[in-house]
Amino acid sequence: MKHNYSLSAAREHAKNNVALVLRRLRLSNFVPLEDVENELRRVETPFQSLLLLGILDRIASRNDEKTLRLYFSAITEWKNHLPHDDLDGMTPTEILEKYPPGPYEMDFIGGLMREYESRLNALKKSEHRLGFDINADFAQFQEAYLNRIPAAPYFRGGMPRTMRALIVEERHRAGHPEKDIEKVGVQIFAENVGDGAVDKIDEIEAVYVDHLKELDAMKRAGGRPDQRRVRAIRKQFEHDEPFHRTAREPHRFYLNYAMLLLLDEEPKETVLHFISLSLLHKPDYEVARKVRRNIRSRTTF
């Protein structure tokens, strides 16, 4: 009972710290804690969530190291204290307590992390890496790494075996359940290694800026815009909306969304709804106020 209480207390501690972060960022009215928990349950690693990634972007825009550290630790703690269906309802923390990694596993995984971080640093120096999929790259790197045969001292007179085989044998000796024995991969927040999260943010923002330029060109050209392109951009906006809702400039995003809906010939009420969202985030946003006045005064649409 005491153990269950400690897990519950850890979740509450993490939740309270996330609530503190949201208050500091003035996002409490836009991001319920239930949404954060639902996102953490839905994704494998926290920053696969666009909503959580947007919060990270907002913190970065303020150069607030204290809040950044609090956010990383709180999100990580909360994620690790949530039950997982693929772990029979246990949390990652409970699994580690019940089946702690042995010395081989600790040694090999430590080497994997060091090598992969060096790889990312080298990639960063050699290319921009826009569009780089860190999760796919890490999975491929991890597979190759675990299939290596380590140095002879690990065998102590036995036959050479791969790192994966040595970890599996070590887990067998520790009584690790057979059905989990192939889960030798690291549960890593891959986006946290090197600048992975920053790369994802850069990619989202680069696509967003390109689309804004395209929409501006459509408006300048006059006439009826290319509806196929308008719909494609709208689909991307809808996909990325959770990121922009919590990132550094949601007021600009929602106004741009409203302008996109104008091009898509949506009803006035729908357009005004997104302008209202813009003003909820920044009530003194004069550009949005002006657009709202102009739209309200129009008799046709």
Question: So what's the pLDDT on residue 196?
Answer: 66
| Encoded amino acid at 98, one letter | K
Question: So what's the pLDDT on residue 62?
Answer: 93
pLDDT in tens, the chain (301 residues): 345 556 678 889 999 999 999 999 999 999 999 999 999 988 877 778 999 999 999 999 999 999 999 998 899 889 888 887 767 777 777 777 888 888 888 888 888 888 988 887 777 666 555 566 777 788 888 889 989 998 766 766 667 888 888 888 888 888 887 666 666 655 444 444 445 677 788 899 999 999 999 999 988 888 888 899 999 999 999 999 999 999 999 999 999 999 999 999 999 999 999 999 999 999 999 999 999 999 998 765 5
Question: So what's the pLDDT on residue 27?
Answer: 97
What is the DSSP code string of 37-71?
Answer: HHHHHH-SSGGGSHHHHHHHHHHHHTT-HHHHHHH
Q: Are the beta carbons of 208 and 215 closer than 8 angstroms?
A: no
Instruction: Return the ∠ at Cα 166 (arms to 165 and 170), rounded to 5°.
Output: 115
Counting Cα atoms < 13 Å in the Cβ hemisphere of 287 gives: 10
Question: So what's the pLDDT on residue 191?
Answer: 45
Q: How many Cβ atoms are within 10 Å of 128's Cβ, its own excluded?
A: 11
Question: So what's the pLDDT on residue 193?
Answer: 45
Gap between the Cα atoms of 64 and 53, Å rounded: 16
Gap between the Cα atoms of 259 and 263, Å rounded: 7
Question: So what's the pLDDT on residue 116?
Answer: 85
Question: So what's the pLDDT on residue 194?
Answer: 41
pTM of the model: 0.76
Gap between the Cα atoms of 70 and 48, Å rounded: 19
Gap between the Cα atoms of 301 and 280, Å rounded: 24
